[in-house]
């Protein structure tokens, strides 16, 4: 799988651990995030991930910021992107099953690195159920 990841200053340790995990599973990861805790603007990294997903250069995206909200709002501005803010693996599963989410947004200040890895694993390994959910997903974008 091809996965794009981006983060702001709240998530370099999360990104590093997630990238190591994904690469150990054989995934190809494109890294747009910062590697330091120096303050940066999350939209700069979120837009790059969203562009990859919307253009089909990545199968999925992962974005990380302090609350997960700002970067999720940013990537959701892109056509064909459905980002879900997730704080537990059960939410990550539902985001895929019911919403066909293709980007997971992780709140670094409210989850542990281990939780983040578990959410990413669940997100990537859960299939969209389609059916009645497809009708709803079709109504998301204008």
Catalytic (active-site) positions: 65, 98
Burial of 76: CB neighbours in 10 Å, binned 0-12, 13-18, 19+: middle
Helices (H), 6-131: 12-24, 42-54, 69-75, 89-99, 113-124
Half-sphere exposure of 55 (CA within 13 A, CB side): 8
| CA dihedral of 3, 42, 102, 100, whole degrees rounded to 10 | 160
Element (H, E) at 111: none
In terms of phi and psi (left: phi > 0; alpha: psi -120 to 50; beta: otherwise), the region of 56 is: left
């Amino acid at each position: 799988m091809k996965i794009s990841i981006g983060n702001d200053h709240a998530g370099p340790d999360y990104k590093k651990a997630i990238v190591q995990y994904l690469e150990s599973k054989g995934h190809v990861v494109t890294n747009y995030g910062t590697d330091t805790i120096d303050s940066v603007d999350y939209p700069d990294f979120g837009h790059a991930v969203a562009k990859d997903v919307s253009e089909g250069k990545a199968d999925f995206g992962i974005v990380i910021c302090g609350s997960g909200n700002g970067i999720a709002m940013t990537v959701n501005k892109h056509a064909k992107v459905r980002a879900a803010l997730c704080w537990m693996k059960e939410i990550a599963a539902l985001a895929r099953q019911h919403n066909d989410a293709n980007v997971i947004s992780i709140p670094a200040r409210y989850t542990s690195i281990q939780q983040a890895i578990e959410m990413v694993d669940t997100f990537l390994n859960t299939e969209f159920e389609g059916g009645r959910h497809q009708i709803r997903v079709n109504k998301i974008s204008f």
